[in-house]
Structure 1
């Protein structure tokens, strides 16, 4: 990995009380990475508290069995956070828009700030940045930190990092996977990570509402005239009818990529508080992080996202031509 781990260790050494956070609508890489980093900090004799702007999605609750991750506004106020901690670490994002209300905490925080991330896009968060965009997951970076710092991983932490890497690589299907990925996974399994249990928690315990939502999304799939782009929508009516939430859309987009000839997909998700989240996937030379970047988002070449402050119709009218142009 292309991070100077000694430099990070030296940078955090003087501080005792750490606040960790990640992006809104946290996925397994965000949750697994911040939980594991908190465990490493505690092993170094420090205190670590995790506060996110969004609740942990119900179907990902298994990754945080003790309910360690707190939610801003529900469990703690912004004012309480600003004066309580010595240092702040942002994990798995470097974008203001992804931090939502935690971004205001970051702006008000007077102490040292650190970013640990693997995404290409980034904003100036006024922090020391430790980034490797060649890494397949931020969880891989946390694993490398543990190795570099000579810290051990208990089975729970190992499973959290396994989950982070497995999900951010599409269960090791994406082009970001290298031989180093498998060596890291071997190390996590040696530390008693449980791949079978993680897979069961992720893919074999879906709530009925989640399955019904997936069905509605797939029933609306459209393949454009070029034959290489598929898209669908998840609107507020879909969530209400099925009893699902926006977090239940995760993975539905990947099912569009199994269509013969399709090289890229977009899922437009209508958000309860207004606007649209566009999720992008590619299995071609199209870099969807560049498309997402045109709409204020970012991510990776094969997977990206953007939150667009427009109506669903307006968002689709803007995004779909950009995707089709990229596929030409």
Structure 2
């Protein structure tokens, strides 16, 4: 619940969400422990991967789009896991002026997992659906066939079109 609502900051968070969260706390859930287990138990490899991925952030569409990439060689060189990329896509939305972001992550089978995010009226679910994926208006994903450069270009072209 916490991750699906972005720790209760996404617009789809409702009073019912808070009611259920309150009930979980009443029954013994410890929000600080949950947060620590999810976000403060990383490995050195994850921190190094995050640094590499964040150094690649590129702005496009007059600063409205931020995107970055992870190639399979990054995982191999750093000893990182694909799960170490969790939430890195959201970093692009922290840049002033951005309306949408995506991260393209090459998998071991050379397919490319793309996670799309938006903080505006840009419907990233519609973008993901173009590639057989899906999700929500502000958070969606798809898996594209490789090679990596081709998949990245397709995702970039689709996001450019979505941003007009």
Q: Which runs of 5+ in 1 are unaligned?
A: 1-164
SS of alignment partner, residue 94 of structure 2: coil
Q: Is 2:16 the partner of 1:184?
A: no
Equivalent position to 2:105, from 248, 252, 269? 269
| Runs of 4+ with >4 A deviation | none
Match of 1:167 in 2: 3
Match of 1:229 in 2: 65
Equivalent position to 1:308, from 138, 144, 149? 144
Q: Is 2:149 the partner of 1:319?
A: no
Q: Distance in 1 between matches of 2:10 and 2:96?
A: 18
Is contact 2:61–2:160 with CA below 8 Å preserved after alignment? no
Q: Deviations over 1:159-200 (max 9, x none)?
A: xxxxxx000111111111011111111111111111110011
SS of alignment partner, residue 53 of structure 2: helix
Q: Distance in 2 between matches of 1:313 and 1:234?
A: 11
SS of alignment partner, residue 227 of structure 1: coil
Is contact 2:110–2:148 with CA below 8 Å preserved after alignment? no
Question: Structure 2-normalised TM-score?
Answer: 0.96
CA displacement at 1:309 relative to structure 2: 1.1
**Number of corresponding residues:** 164
The higher relative CO (CA closer than 8 Å, separation ≥ 6) is in 2
> Pairwise mapping of residues 41-52 of structure 1 onto structure 2 (< 5 A)?
none
Equivalent position to 2:96, from 260, 271, 274? 260
Q: Is 2:38 the partner of 1:202?
A: yes
Is contact 2:104–2:115 with CA below 8 Å preserved after alignment? yes
Larger Rg: 1
Equivalent position to 2:74, from 229, 238, 257? 238
SS of alignment partner, residue 272 of structure 1: coil
Q: Which moved more, 1:310-319 or 1:186-195?
A: 310-319
Q: Deviations over 1:188-224 (max 9, x none)?
A: 1111111110011111111111111111100000001
CA displacement at 1:294 relative to structure 2: 0.3
**Superposed CA RMSD:** 1.0
> Pairwise mapping of residues 24-39 of structure 1 onto structure 2 (< 5 A)?
none
SS of alignment partner, residue 262 of structure 1: coil
Q: Is 2:48 the partner of 1:212?
A: yes
